[in-house]
Amino acid sequence: MTSPLNPAQLRAYFALTEAANLLQFAVQQQLRADGDLSYVQFDILATLADATRPLTMTDLADGVVYSRSGLTHQAALLEKAALIVRRPSPADHRATVVDITDAGRARLAEVLPGHVDVVREMLYEPLSDQDVDTFDDITGRIRDHMRAKPPRSAVSRRPETDEG
Amino acid sequence: MTSPLNPAQLRAYFALTEAANLLQFAVQQQLRADGDLSYVQFDILATLADATRPLTMTDLADGVVYSRSGLTHQAALLEKAALIVRRPSPADHRATVVDITDAGRARLAEVLPGHVDVVREMLYEPLSDQDVDTFDDITGRIRDHMRAKPPRSAVSRRPETDEG
DNA sequence: TATTGTTATACTCTATAACTATA
DNA sequence: TATAGTTATAGAGTATAACAATA
């Protein structure tokens, strides 16, 4: 247990971290410049645009790994900007259904081309089609593994409280 | 220009984004739980511990892609916790040299095993040695490409100011 | 004049806890 | 009693601009 990472693991971890940070930074700049959206706001709009059924606040919070209060805050901002609408769910009167508006879809359309450009230029320019397939396979397996493994479990290696 | 991403590119981008977010979230939790450090603070300490020569605030800010004021803030926190020391540079009286303390190295040592565990469990458990080599190669090329390509250039596709 | 670093300040993001209302 | 969502609030992180000191 706690054996060190081998050199290739270490290198790849650092490269991944740095690349992901640089990409995220560039994407955030682009979304802000082209559509005055934070990444989370973009994610919410994109999720709503893709959804085949109406989504509730809880549905959205699950997708974004977000506290509900944080989502309420972001939804309030998006609603103030007229990009989404919230209405009480007819099925469950406790729930709130969130819809993307035409303005929301328009904003998404404004932002998407630049988003794709950034991803292609930064992430895919140095990769061949063969590389992309390999990268797709590996990242897919990593993501599936992370989804399956509850991230919290690996975290706290300290006893919660011994005293008291 | 602005041709869409192909399916494999799109899948890999989503997988990468989700995996990187989950990994970052877990790492942040671990660093906070095991050593009461934010990721940026950990990054600063690790950079100082690895450095072969004394680093200035500007050296550090360059490595972390950080505003100088933000770095000053984080350095003040780390210094208050006695994990680093700042002193005027003898060579350039404008500059501040930052040193990691014994306590800083000790804190790093407390945190590193758990950090490595999280990375191995989340990132490398589903990969063979062969996969790791491939992954190392591809992520390394991506990072080098991103470093070479100034991230800002791809960002603003709006004219700065036409009026005034 | 340009550069290093700090300070003052303000804004955004996020989370916790308390709360309302429905189920 | 449990769940959906909001509100109030507080804390952390980051950035901009103004500033002081030095090159």
* Spatial distance from the CA of B98 to the C1' of C5 (Å): 12
Is position A155 within any domain?
A: no
Retrieve residue A68's tokens.
């509900």
- Model confidence over B58-97: pLDDT tens digits? 999 877 767 899 999 999 999 999 999 999 999 999 999 9
Mean pLDDT score of chain B:
88
Nearest-angstrom CA–CA distance, A58 and A94: 11
Instruction: Say if A64 is an interface residue toward chain B (CB within 8 Å).
Output: no
Strand D contact with B70 (CB < 7 A) = yes
- Model confidence over B2-20: pLDDT tens digits? 688 999 999 999 999 999 9
Question: How many structural domains comprise chain A?
Answer: 1
Is position A37 within any domain?
A: yes
**Whose CA is closest to A141, among B113, B125, B62?**
B125
Is position B136 within any domain?
A: no
Nearest-angstrom CA–CA distance, B66 and B47: 14
Is position B63 within any domain?
A: yes
Mean pLDDT score, B126-130: 98
Altogether, the residues listed in chain A come to a count of: 164
The residue range of the domain holding B22 is 9-130
Strand D contact with A86 (CB < 7 A) = yes
Mean pLDDT score, B21-41: 93
What b-and-e string marks burial along B45-70, b requiring 16 or more CB atoms within 10 Å of the CB? Answer: bebbeeeeeebbbebbbeebebeeee
Please enumerate in sequence order all residues whose Cβ is within 8 A of that of A155, keeping only pairs 6 or more positions apart, or say none. B26, B29, B30, B33, B118
Query: Are the C-beta atoms of residues A61 and A67 closer than 8 Å to each other?
Result: yes
CB contact under 8 A, B154 and A126: no
Retrieve residue A115's tokens.
């988003």
Retrieve residue B111's tokens.
């945190």
Is position B94 within any domain?
A: yes
Nearest-angstrom CA–CA distance, B96 and A95: 55
- Model confidence over A2-23: pLDDT tens digits? 688 999 999 999 999 999 999 9
Q: What is the CATH number of the domain that holds A114?
A: 1.10.10.10
Q: Which positions in chain A touch B63 (Cβ < 8 Å)?
A: none
Q: Which positions in chain A touch B147 (Cβ < 8 Å)?
A: 22
Is position A163 within any domain?
A: no
- Classify burial at B39, counting beta carbons within 10 Å of its beta carbon; exposed 0-12, middle 13-18, buried 19 or more: middle
Is position A63 within any domain?
A: yes
